[in-house]
Amino acid sequence: MSFKHSPMVRVADPVDKEALFTPEIRAEIDRWVAKYPPEWRQSAVMAGLRILQDHNGGWLTQPLMDDLAAYLDMPEVAVYEVATFYSMYSLEPVGRHKLCVCTNVSCMLNGSDRLVEHLEKRLGTRLGGTTEDGRFTLKEVECLGACGGAPVMQLGRQYYENLTPEILDSILDGLE
Amino acid sequence: MANECCFRTLDLDRPWLLEQYRSRGGYDALARVLGDPMDPAAIIDELKTSGLRGRGGAGFPTGVKWSFIRRDEPGDKYIVCNSDEGEPGTFKDRDILRYNPHALIEGMIIAGYVVGANVGYNYIRGEFWEPYERFEGALEEARAAGLLGKDILGSGFDFDIHSHLGAGAYICGEETALLESIEGKKGQPRFKPPFPAMFGLYGRPTLINNTESLASVPEILRRGGEWFRDLGVKNSGGTKLFSVSGNVNRPGNFEVSMGIPFRELLEMAGGVKDGRRLKGVIPGGSSSPVVPGDLMMELNMDYDSIAGAGSMLGSGAVIVMDDSNCMVRVLERMAYFYHEESCGQCTPCREGTGWLYRVVHRIERGEGRPEDLDLLDDVAARIQGRTICALGDAAALPVAGMLRHFREEFEYHIDHKRCMVGAR
Ligand SMILES: Cc1cc2nc3c(=O)[nH]c(=O)nc-3n(C[C@H](O)[C@H](O)[C@H](O)COP(=O)(O)O)c2cc1C
Ligand code: FES
């Protein structure tokens, strides 16, 4: 095979990578970089974005993405492409708790509409919105791969299954 | 017979632990393969005998796929496991990762040995944090036990596995989009050929299989290809995980023999909820055309039987719908999904999925026009077979299926500007 296939090239002055992130964040990203061939540092871009987002209250800023590009030796625009393509990255501020409610077919058949309605009413915001106090963001998501427990919601790293408006209330009551 | 293969440790306490897996013959196959090094061709033959077909949806014979990569070809080669599990209705790989991660690890190592690869990546969808942590824990256990890493079991064979987490994109389940994603790019499918076996991850020969396919391999080798084949039926060897969801009393994953009558599977899932009538079934994930309930009750859960009814066994995700559902509504939701998840790379898919959604949406809202059904058929036909990857087909097929079997509901929506079922 003689297809051209090499990592993207970054045309910019080299930077001091140690100055870009805290040692803690660098260690986290480096753990991912180590999984891939040395010339393919850019393979860690997805993990890097996730890590930066988690350390930044759930969303990504352009300076953060630019720093990651420098850290992984890739063009800035290539990082923006990834950050805008995947649904789990957020380019705008989000609430402290991001409620991701699945409304795909199996969940719909099991009453996800009721959950959405209930949440919209209780939080006073529509799907895609964030409450004024910045506590909650309400998001519609596609099938979470847990349809046996429909309807399903993801909150942080956890799934909540077989939900009813009552169970939702008790979950929300327990959050800050 | 149930729970014979991927779920064979499910009844144990904390079945994901190495000791539990070992108590049911776990890593025996690997020890045999590496002990008195087995001829890779013999392993491939065993897989061919077993009748194992790709569990990711396309059903391609696994043994044949494994034979595409030349073991003696110099340079890096890769094993990639597809745990992206995004096909609506499918939730089986999640349970393999959570409850039997070692079966997948053992399968990946054996795959590495057969094609001569030393590194494997498991692409786990980003939402699957709990399964990811389970899998990571199992990797650590395996490394500590000398089953993974350098010089596995003193055989001189090196193999390591890394997880790669996705970040929310159905299209990354498509194998070449997945490879692009590992390379740190948008998940946009590549043109094929060349296929991954020749030009895969980092441009190198790559074997890519679904989680369930790989996790089935160790038990097949331990008990023999014929054992597995005979659990199933002609052209559909072995057992399969069926994810049953929707309007049933006990949704869940069921590992049963291929060819099991649908009615038995439905019974295992507790039957239709509230004693309602079975209206329709999506038998193999949301990309497979709907089958009317009456017809479905006569079918068996194997590739040929479902194909004979004009649908596909796909990923084995069975979505059961009772007679309280409006099919226009169901199709609208599915059309929205494909429109939302189209990667935007090729025109027929990017534009076509938008058309499909907008037209079904207006029919659902009572704003449909008499010519809309022909328009839907036309748009679907113009997507099918004209796209870079199969997402286009996946979006078009369910439309054709719904219009074939439930046309009168769509006509009613258009004529009466409301729902025939009274769903709303
Ligand atoms: C749009 C699309 C989505 C797919 N999603 C998945 C998926 O989530 N998991 C999977 O294993 N295969 C998925 N596939 C199929 C893969 O492209 C590929 O055929 C499969 O991983 C091969 O493994 P197998 O032969 O073991 O089934 C998808 C295909 C398409 C076109
Ligand atoms: S449809 Fe909601 S988790 Fe699958």
For residue B424, pLDDT beyond 70: no
Give how far A103 is from chain B: nearest CA, Å.
8
Kindly provide the ipTM of the predicted complex, given to two decimals.
0.97
CATH class assigned to A17-85: mainly alpha
Tally of CB atoms within 10 A around B310 = 16
Res A13: pLDDT: 86
Tens of pLDDT, residues B108-125 = 999 999 999 999 999 999
Q: Over 60: is that where the pLDDT of A2 sits? A: no
pLDDT for A14 equals 86
For B150-185, how does the pLDDT look when each residue is reduced to its tens digit (9 = 90+)?
Answer: 999 999 999 999 999 999 999 999 999 999 999 999
Task: Read off the pLDDT of each residue in A67-88 and give the average, rounded to a whole number.
Answer: 97
Model confidence band, residue B244 (pLDDT cutoffs 50, 70, 90) = very high
pLDDT at res. B254: 98
Instruction: Give pLDDT, residue A3.
Output: 57
SS3 of chain B: CECCCCCCCCCCCCCCCHHHHHHCCCCHHHHHHHHCCCCHHHHHHHHHHHCCECCCCCCCEHHHHHCCCCCCCCCCCEEEEEECCCCCCCCHHHHHHHHCHHHHHHHHHHHHHHHCCCEEEEEECCCCHHHHHHHHHHHHHHHHCCCCECCHHHCCCCEEEEEEECCCCHHHHCHHHHHHHHCCCCCCCCCCCCCCCCCCHHHCCEEEEEHHHHHHHHHHHHHCHHHHHHHCECCECCEEEEEEEECECCCEEEEEECCCEHHHHHHHCCCEHHHCCEEEEEECECCCCCEEHHHHCCCECCHHHHHHCCCCCCCCEEEEEECCCCHHHHHHHHHHHHHHHCCCCCHHHHHHHHHHHHHHHHHHCCCCCCCHHHHHHHHHHHHCCCCCCCHHHHHHHHHHHHHHHCHHHHHHHHHHCCCCCCCC
- Chain B residues close to A44, C-beta within 8 Å: 184
Q: A72 pLDDT exceeds 80? A: yes
| Segment (H or E) for A173 | helix A165-173
Average of per-residue pLDDT values in chain B: 97
Residue B421's pLDDT band (boundaries 50, 70, 90)? confident
Sheet holding A158-160, edge to edge: A136-141, A97-102, A153-155, A158-160
CATH of domain A97-175: 3.40.30.10
Ordered by start, the domain boundaries in chain A are 17-85, 97-175
User: In chain B, which residue's Cα lies nearest the Cα of A32?
Assistant: B164
Give B363's pLDDT tier (boundaries 50, 70, 90): very high
- Write the single-letter amino acid at B27: Y
Across B258-284, average pLDDT? 97
Least confident of B34-38, B246-250, B257-261: B34-38
Q: Nearest CA of chain A to the CA of B88: how many Å?
A: 5
Mean pLDDT along residues B251-265:
98
B185 vs A82, A87, A146: nearest CB: A82
Chain A nearest-CA distance from B253, in A, is 8
Q: pLDDT confidence of B422, banded at 50, 70, 90?
A: confident
Average pLDDT over residues B307-328: 97
* pLDDT in the model for residue A1: 37
Which residue of A143, A159, A160, A163 sits with most ligand 2 atoms within 8 Å of its CB, as the best mutation to test the pocket?
Answer: A143
Start-end of H helices in A72-162: 76-85, 105-109, 112-123
Give the integer Cα–Cα distance in Å for B181 and B189: 9
Mean pLDDT of all residues in A10-26: 93
Taking the centre of ligand 2 as the mean of its atom positions, its distance from the CA of residue B87, in whole angstroms, is 9
Q: Is the CB of A154 under 6 A from ligand 2?
A: no
Q: Which atom of ligand 1 is nearest to the CA of B84?
A: 8
Mean predicted confidence (pLDDT) in A8-28: 93
Please indicate whether residue B88, judged by its CB atom, sits closer than 6 Å to ligand 2: yes
pTM for the model stands at 0.97
Judged by average pLDDT, the poorest of A8-17, A44-53, B73-82, B410-419 is A8-17
pLDDT surpasses 90 at A11: no
Q: How far is CA B237 from CA A150, B129, B158, B168, in A?
A: 30, 32, 31, 33
Range A137-148 average pLDDT: 98
